[in-house]
Chains A and B, each alone.
Chain A
Amino acid sequence: RKEVEQDPGPFNVPEGATVAFNCTYSNSASQSFFWYRQDCRKEPKLLMSVYSSGNEDGRFTAQLNRASQYISLLIRDSKLSDSATYLCVVRDFGNEKLTFGTGTRLTIIP
């Protein structure tokens, strides 16, 4: 079983719709969680950290469910510029390394 699993997609979603991604992680000792965004042929960039209480940044909401070991990302009122690959990232306790999921590809359709 992969340490971090994501549905690879692609998700093709009409502009203005709401889209949600899930990510599961295998290590219950995982401590920190993030969503990164990667545009085509570019480097990944931090989108948002994921806190236990859930957090929101504009149209983006991230949730963490430690009991079920998954994190989610919700994008409301999707824009064409949201088209990208979204990477789920996990850091284990006492470890400086980050483990990346393979990413979920999102295309927003006009």
Chain B
Amino acid sequence: DVKVTQSSRYLVKRTGEKVFLECVQDMDHENMFWYRQDPGLGLRLIYFSYDVKMKEKGDIPEGYSVSREKKERFSLILESASTNQTSMYLCASSLIGTGLSGNTIYFGEGSWLTVV
């Protein structure tokens, strides 16, 4: 079974703090993603990466950065946390490619971040 692990499940941070959210996958997937999910807005893509040290902006990258130094690990960084970044953050991974099986995306359990 694919395993995507988000090490921090519940965090409370202060405005202005730097926040790191870590994600590790164990299936040698090329693609990794960070989404945030908010009521009424669904899942919105923040950043994704299709290879080590490669990254692309998603739909809402402002206020975030990412790091992918190893294939299995994709980190989301909030440089200076703000209250509007309170949300559930979901990491995901998938194989690269155009086949249907390559498009299946596997999610971690989510990280619930509250910024006060």
CB neighbours (8 Å) of B45 from chain A are 97, 99
- Let me know if B42 and A103 touch, CB within 8 A: yes
- Let me know if A34 and B41 touch, CB within 8 A: no
* Cβ contacts A36-70/B at 8 Å (1 or 0 each): 00000111111001000000000000000000000
- Let me know if B40 and A102 touch, CB within 8 A: yes
Q: Does A91 contact B (CB under 8 A)?
A: yes
- Let me know if A96 and B48 touch, CB within 8 A: yes
Q: Which of A55-110 contact B (CB under 8 A)?
A: 87, 89, 91, 94, 96-103
Q: Does B7 contact A (CB under 8 A)?
A: no
Q: What's the count of A-B pairs with C-beta under 8 Å?
A: 49
Interface core residue of A43, A49, A102, A103 (most chain B CB under 10 Å): A43
CB neighbours (8 Å) of A97 from chain B are 33, 45, 48, 58
- Let me know if B105 and A43 touch, CB within 8 A: no
CB neighbours (8 Å) of B98 from chain A are 31, 94
Assuming A42-B109, A43-B108, A43-B109, is B103 touching A98 (CB within 8 A)? yes
A8 to B39, CA, bound (A): 11
Q: Which of B13-61 contact A (CB under 8 A)?
A: 31, 33, 35, 40-43, 45, 48, 50, 58
- Which positions in A face B, CB cutoff 8 Å? 8, 31-32, 34, 41-46, 49, 87, 89, 91, 94, 96-103
Top 8 A-B residue pairs of the complex, sorted by shortest distance between their CB atoms: A102-B42, A43-B107, A100-B43, A32-B103, A91-B103, A100-B42, A43-B109, A96-B31
Q: List 7 A-B contacts (CB under 8 A).
A: A42-B109, A42-B110, A49-B103, A91-B103, A99-B45, A101-B42, A102-B42
